[in-house]
């Protein structure tokens, strides 16, 4: 018996995040080797023709190795490498990237990298890279593209594509309309599944992440959804209206993309329709866009807590200073305030020297306790679990949990204070101060994010700095104040 085996392309390969890291290491090795050879060649006389010839040959060999290595990668891996090298080397690699990858790489890289790549491209290359993009993809890049390039690309669009582009560019950046996809499959409710199957077979391919087909009327009003599983398991003679689902989750173009991400997480969605105020189907959101939203929100939240904004890790020092200095200066002011509070009790500390060693524990534990609460609250705000009605019960719960944890922790701290001071009074003061400061930290951990969210601000922005200010200043004041009252 002859065994028939499917033809497997020789170029097929498994995608693995570690491949990008290995490729980055190889790229960095090639760049380092090129720099070393270049330095050796430049040590020769400038008018030495042989040295110039060697340098030219090495440059071409170096470019050939880099070109072969980079262009064999997935566009997402190329974007990863471009984001992981300094700007000068980034531009060198970008010049070697094949034109067929330009569009995909520009869509994959972060905003701060994309800006530098676009600046290095001439008008002709930009038009070529963006000319074949879908309307939603072009809308993502439009804010970073020169106006004349956008205008030139628009000339090559159909009337429908141009209308989609204008519509997509009109939605806020952090809205569902800003991330929705216009490529989707629509059918009527009065046709049979056989007709639907014949229609699908005529398509070159299904849009990415197609798990359901949208059923609309002649006015494009969404009537229901037809899953691919229902299409395949039912008889071809059955009408769409008989097997379509009328229970579905739909989004509005003006909904927050974070709310959409929460809905995808909650209901395990792969795609969801986007409908306007009249119920007409205008687009869809897929899991691919939602994953990007979740990652970007996570990155922004982590940076915001330290009072930072996203920046190029290889950006000029002046740019980094503008990003980091404001909150660092504020942190310096808060630390100075805490030191000033401690200086008010100089007499107490000079009388009982051991207090100087213990007060940092009170401040540190209060900050850590508040940080736990703040992380919990910021996460709950991000997924929409905190409402005006449950804020107060939440505050009471956190205060109770903090008090119980503080009671346990302060007992251990009191034993430690007694061991190094041999004073029961100091141990009790230590215990009381720790509980009070942990309660302060919990209060700040709840109120700061909630109040900032209520004012329409990022609840995570600078929250750690404000928490440190409160727990340090009030921690020193509570501990040294109790010591002054009960020990002096």
Separation between Cα atoms, residue 92 and residue 54, nearest integer Å:
20
Token couple for 142: 């439009």
Token couple for 58: 């090495």
Indicate the helix (H) or strand (E) that contains 265.
helix 257-267
Pick from 270, 228, 260: nearest CA to 245: 228
Cβ-proximal residues to 140 (8 Å cutoff; 6+ apart), any chain: 107, 178
Place of tokens 């060649």: 41
Pairing of strands 212-216, 271-275: unpaired
Pick from 309, 72, 313, 285: nearest CA to 182: 285
Separation between Cα atoms, residue 306 and residue 342, nearest integer Å:
25
Domains within the chain, CATH numbers bracketed: 18-175 (1.25.60.10), 186-305 (3.10.580.10), 317-487 (1.10.357.20)
Pick from 265, 273, 218, 278: nearest CA to 245: 273
Token couple for 72: 């064999």
Pairing of strands 212-216, 222-227: antiparallel
Q: Give the residues across from 370 on adjacent strands.
A: none
Report H helices in 202-316.
Answer: 228-233, 240-243, 257-267, 287-305
Cβ burial 70-94 (10 Å sphere, 16+ → b, else e): beebbbebbbbbbbbbebebbebbb
Pairing of strands 281-286, 212-216: unpaired
Separation between Cα atoms, residue 430 and residue 424, nearest integer Å:
10
DSSP 3-state of 274: strand
Contact indicator for 188, 215 with CB cutoff of 8 Å: yes
Q: In what order do the strands lie in the sheet with 212-216?
A: 186-187, 212-216, 222-227
Separation between Cα atoms, residue 349 and residue 479, nearest integer Å:
11
Separation between Cα atoms, residue 486 and residue 393, nearest integer Å:
34
pLDDT (0 to 100) of residue 346:
87
Mean pLDDT by 10 residues, the chain (488 residues): 38 55 82 70 55 63 84 90 87 90 89 86 88 84 86 85 85 90 93 95 92 95 95 94 94 92 90 94 94 83 65 66 73 83 88 88 90 86 79 88 92 92 92 94 90 82 80 91 89
pLDDT (0 to 100) of residue 404:
93
pLDDT (0 to 100) of residue 83:
86
pLDDT (0 to 100) of residue 165:
85
Cβ burial 293-302 (10 Å sphere, 16+ → b, else e): bbebbeebbe
DSSP 3-state of 135: helix
Indicate the helix (H) or strand (E) that contains 381.
helix 354-382
pLDDT (0 to 100) of residue 40:
60
């Amino acid at each position: 018996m002859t065994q028939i085996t499917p033809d497997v392309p020789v170029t097929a390969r498994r995608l693995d995040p570690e491949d990008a890291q290995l490729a980055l290491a190889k790229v960095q090795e090639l760049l380092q080797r090129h720099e070393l050879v270049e330095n050796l060649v430049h040590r020769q006389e400038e008018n030495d023709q042989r040295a110039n010839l060697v340098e030219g040959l090495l440059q071409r060999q170096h470019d050939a190795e880099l070109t072969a290595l980079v262009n064999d990668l997935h566009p997402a891996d190329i974007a990863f490498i471009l984001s992981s090298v300094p700007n000068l080397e980034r531009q060198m690699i970008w010049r070697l990237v094949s034109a067929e990858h330009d569009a995909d790489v520009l869509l994959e890289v972060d905003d701060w990298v994309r800006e530098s790549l676009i600046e290095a491209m001439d008008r002709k290359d930009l038009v070529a890279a963006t000319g074949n993009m879908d309307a939603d993809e072009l809308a993502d890049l439009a804010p970073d593209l020169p106006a004349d390039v956008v205008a030139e690309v628009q000339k090559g669009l159909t009337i429908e594509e141009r209308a989609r582009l204008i519509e997509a560019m009109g939605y806020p950046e952090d809205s569902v309309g800003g991330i929705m996809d216009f490529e989707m499959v629509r059918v009527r409710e009065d046709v049979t599944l056989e007709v639907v199957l014949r229609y699908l077979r005529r398509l070159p391919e299904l849009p990415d992440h197609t798990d359901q087909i949208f059923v609309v009327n002649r006015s494009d009003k969404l009537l229901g959804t037809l899953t691919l599983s229902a299409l395949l398991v039912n008889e071809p003679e059955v009408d769409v209206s008989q097997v379509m689902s009328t229970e579905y989750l739909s989004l509005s173009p003006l909904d927050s993309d974070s709310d959409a991400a929460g809905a995808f997480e909650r209901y395990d969605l792969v795609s969801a329709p986007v409908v306007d105020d009249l119920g007409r189907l205008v687009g869809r959101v897929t899991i691919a866009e939602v994953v990007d939203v979740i990652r970007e929100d996570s990155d922004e939240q982590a940076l915001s807590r330290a009072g930072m904004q996203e920046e190029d890790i290889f950006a000029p020092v002046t740019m980094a200073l503008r990003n980091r200095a404001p909150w660092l200066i504020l942190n310096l002011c808060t630390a100075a305030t805490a030191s000033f509070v401690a200086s008010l009790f100089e007499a107490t500390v000079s009388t009982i020297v051991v207090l100087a060693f213990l007060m940092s524990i009170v401040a540190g534990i209060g900050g850590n306790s508040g940080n736990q609460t703040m992380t919990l609250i910021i996460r709950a705000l991000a997924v929409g679990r905190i409402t005006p009605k449950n804020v107060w019960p939440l505050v009471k719960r956190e205060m109770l949990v903090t008090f119980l944890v503080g009671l346990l922790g302060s007992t251990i701290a009191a034993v430690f204070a007694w061991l190094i001071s041999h004073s029961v009074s100091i141990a009790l003061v230590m215990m009381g101060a720790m509980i009070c400061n942990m309660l302060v930290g919990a209060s700040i951990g709840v109120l700061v994010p909630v109040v900032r969210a209520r004012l329409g601000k990022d609840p995570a922005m600078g929250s750690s700095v404000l928490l440190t200010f409160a727990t340090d200043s009030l921690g020193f004041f509570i501990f040294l104040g109790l010591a002054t009252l009960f020990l002096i």
